Amino acid sequence: MKEPSPSLHATLLRQREAHARDPLPEWSVRATRLRTLQRLLTEQREAFAQAISDDFGHRPREETELLELYPSLSNLRHSLKHGKRWMRPRGGLANLVFLPARTTVLPQPRGAVGIIVPWNYPLFLAVGPLIDALTAGNRVMLKMSEYTPRFSALFAEQIARYFSADEVAVVTGDAEVAQAFSSLPFDHLLFTGSTAVGHHVMRAAASNLTPVTLELGGKSPAIIGPGARLDNAVERIVFGKLVNAGQTCIAPDYVLVPREQLNTFVDKARATVARLYPNLAGQEQYASIVSDRQYQRLAKLRDDAVAAGARVEPLSDASDLPVRRLLAPVMLTGVNDDMAVMQDEIFGPLLPVLPYDSLDQALSYISSRPQPLALYLFEQDRATIARVLERTQAGGVTVNDTLYHIAQHGLAFGGVGPSGIGGYHGKAGFETFSHLKPVFRQTRLNGAGMLNPPYGPRFKRMLKLLMRLG
């Protein structure tokens, strides 16, 4: 493990010292920080979108605004509206036998928080947890991805203009810097990225007993139920799969479709792509793959599957354009579990389609695999929906659409098992970055002394009463 650099340690120490001076910031202080972040996003909107597009080779400004800027600003408005209430102590009565004592839950900032940001949505996945951490009253250090160097440098520069380093600090650099960052003794560490890297982050955090929130990935299935509205299902799956060219941690990774609807599904998907992305090869609204490495990885996944017997179903007339890193979207049929495309998270515009003969067969297939970050179900029958929800596990679920569970303020976003630990967003994010300190307040007149030793007849009567009353 690489030792953290002196500058990383110095920044963390500065934030810890600032936290010690103001361990429970008033709401006015927190709201000022949130409004400063709001102003930063509004004023740098155009520059951020351009930097992200430059890093990708090309990404539509519309996608950056819809999927990164809008949810960030929406989260800010929500936290500014509700944060003051979230931070209030939550009082209550003690258990019956301890009355008239009272209890309180006191939300307190954890202190200095670390956030490791991935490349695929570098603005939203930096700002989202940053909002929650600031609302909870923390100081924050962010490690940006080296795979989006233009945006990372610009974000670091702008954060330094709008915030002091003891409030929010941004770190850039390669994998060695990320490794050193994850080994810092933060009060909480949030990582978004691959399951493989998540193992390393968790090991590094464990050396400091740093609590972690891990937002990982996995193979998120979409199920076309027997009662699905097929046209709607196809449109929403194509949308969820092809925004950002599939480089989305909760994009549908594969589709389970009733066997008799397989060919119809493929035909409808091709027609939907033609409608959403006309002239895809020259389409300015279809994103590039972020790097040559990722482009080559995806092309190999597709080509290896074909070599092993899978069939490519082109979804457009476009051909691959390596110079632009444009990877034409395709469906893959005839896949099997031995193919890498069915073992690894795809993270690109390749969509395996698997037919099933009964819904039980589809559910057994999902349940026999590691729990995914997301699951999508298209179905109208309420009993069938309830059955699928009961028999599957996933970090989050959207019914009759894709992706949008991540945008709900009232729903925590997170994984389960190999797809992640913990969650954030809205009140859930506030609580992730807070210590909900339990406080028991004893009253002047109380019966606690009746349980003191020596343990005689009075103690036995009291213990018998406690056992009965609970």
Q: What is the pLDDT of residue 328?
A: 95
For the chain, how many helices (H) and strands (E)?
16, 18
Q: Is the pLDDT of residue 2 over 60?
A: no
Looking at residues 301-307, what average pLDDT do you find? 97
Catalytic residues, by residue number, are 215, 249
Looking at residues 144-170, what average pLDDT do you find? 97
**Which DSSP symbol is given to 227?**
T
Looking at residues 2-17, what average pLDDT do you find? 84
Looking at residues 336-360, what average pLDDT do you find? 97
Q: What is the pLDDT of residue 3?
A: 55
Residue type, 130: L
Q: What is the pLDDT of residue 301?
A: 97
CA proximity to 364, closest of 398, 383, 387, 385:
387
**Rounded to the nearest 10 degrees, how much is the dihedral formed by the CA atoms of 129, 395, 406, 362?**
160
Residue type, 353: V
Instruction: In whole angstroms, give the CA distance from residue 341 to residue 302.
Output: 7
Query: Taking the model in full, what pTM does it have?
Result: 0.94
Instruction: In whole angstroms, give the CA distance from residue 305 to residue 299.
Output: 10
CA proximity to 156, closest of 170, 166, 142, 141:
170
**Which DSSP symbol is given to 326?**
B
Task: Supply the DSSP string of 383-397, one letter for each residue.
Answer: HHHHHHHHH---SEE
Tokens of 108: 């307190």
CA proximity to 317, closest of 266, 269, 281, 263:
281
**Which DSSP symbol is given to 147?**
T
C-alpha distance from residue 205 to each of 106, 434, 436 (Å): 26, 18, 21
Looking at residues 105-122, what average pLDDT do you find? 97
**Which residue did the predictor score with more confidence, 361 or 464?**
361
pLDDT band at residue 95 using 50, 70 and 90 as cut-offs = confident
**Which residue did the predictor score with more confidence, 35 or 445?**
35
**pLDDT (tens digit, 9 = 90+) per residue, 216-258?**
989 999 999 999 999 999 999 999 999 999 999 999 999 999 9
Q: What is the pLDDT of residue 159?
A: 98
Q: What is the mean pLDDT of the chain?
A: 95
Q: Is the pLDDT of residue 463 over 90?
A: no
**Which DSSP symbol is given to 104?**
E
Return all residues near 418 (Cβ < 8 A) that are at least 6 apart: 195, 216, 218, 370, 371
Residue pair 286/277 in contact by the 8 Å Cβ criterion: yes
Residue type, 401: D
Q: What is the pLDDT of residue 1?
A: 46
**pLDDT (tens digit, 9 = 90+) per residue, 160-214?**
999 999 999 999 999 999 999 999 999 999 999 999 999 999 999 999 999 999 9
Determine the length of the chain: 470
Looking at residues 339-366, what average pLDDT do you find? 97
Q: What is the pLDDT of residue 6?
A: 64
- Domains of the chain from N-terminus onward: 6-216+420-436 (3.40.605.10), 221-414 (3.40.309.10)
Looking at residues 120-129, what average pLDDT do you find? 98
Instruction: In whole angstroms, give the CA distance from residue 43 to residue 46.
Output: 8
Give the percent of the chain with pLDDT over 70.
99
Q: Is the pLDDT of residue 4 over 70?
A: no
